[in-house]
């Protein structure tokens, strides 16, 4: 790390701390040449490969913006959107992959959005999954009512995740 004051090519780490949200590390450094101190912030990069093949950095604000459109007119607070954005980013980072596709990002959004608001979930899913007919909506609604696992609710290897069955469905 070059010193921003004298451009010396080295520095010594004096202190390291994680940031409040835990997604980056703040380091306090000191230049061995001029003895001045400066701060750096390190984050692990997470890149998204778009359908066009272009790669860009992951943006939590883009996730929130897209979900906000699906939640328009729904009783969803900005705080809930921020929490959803954080959950999506944490899920994507937990995959351990430095590059993800837009498809992966969409799948990561569907689960938390379904928990947040079913109407917003259907709106988002209709665009994300490219619903073409009323039958596509009917199928999605029937799956929600039946509590059947959706493709995004599968465990690694394609095994359906355990989904609780409502008591009325067990009768």
Q: What is the pLDDT of residue 43?
A: 83
pTM above 0.75, yes or no: no
**In order along the chain (171 residues), what is the average pLDDT of each group of 10 residues?**
93 90 86 96 90 93 94 94 94 91 93 93 90 91 78 42 39 39
Q: What is the pLDDT of residue 24?
A: 83
Q: What is the pLDDT of residue 59?
A: 93
Q: What is the pLDDT of residue 121?
A: 93
Distance of CA 110 to the CA centre of its chain: 10
As given in the structure block, the two tokens for residue 105 are 């990002």
Q: What is the pLDDT of residue 148?
A: 59
**CA–CA dist 33, 138 (Å, integer):** 69
**How many beta carbons lie within 10 A of that of residue 63, not counting itself?**
23
Q: What is the pLDDT of residue 169?
A: 40
- Three-class SS state of 38: strand
Q: What is the pLDDT of residue 158?
A: 41
**CA–CA dist 128, 148 (Å, integer):** 19
**84 burial type by CB count under 10 A (0-12 exposed, 13-18 middle, 19+ buried):** buried
């Amino acid at each position: 790390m070059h010193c921003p004051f004298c451009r010396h090519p080295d520095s010594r780490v004096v202190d390291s701390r994680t940031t409040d949200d835990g997604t980056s590390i703040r380091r306090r450094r000191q230049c061995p040449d001029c003895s001045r101190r400066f701060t750096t912030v390190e984050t692990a990069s997470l890149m998204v490969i778009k359908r066009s093949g272009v790669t860009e950095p992951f943006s939590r604000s883009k996730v929130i913006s897209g979900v906000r459109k699906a939640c328009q007119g729904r009783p969803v607070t900005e705080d809930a959107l921020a929490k959803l954005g954080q959950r999506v980013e944490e899920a994507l980072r937990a995959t351990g992959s430095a590059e993800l596709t837009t498809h992966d990002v969409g799948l990561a959004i569907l689960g938390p959005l379904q928990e947040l608001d079913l109407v917003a979930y259907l709106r988002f899913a209709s665009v994300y999954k490219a619903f073409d007919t009323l039958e596509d909506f009917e199928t999605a609604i029937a799956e929600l009512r039946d509590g059947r696992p959706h493709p995004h609710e599968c465990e690694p290897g394609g095994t359906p995740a355990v989904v609780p069955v409502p008591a009325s469905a067990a009768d």
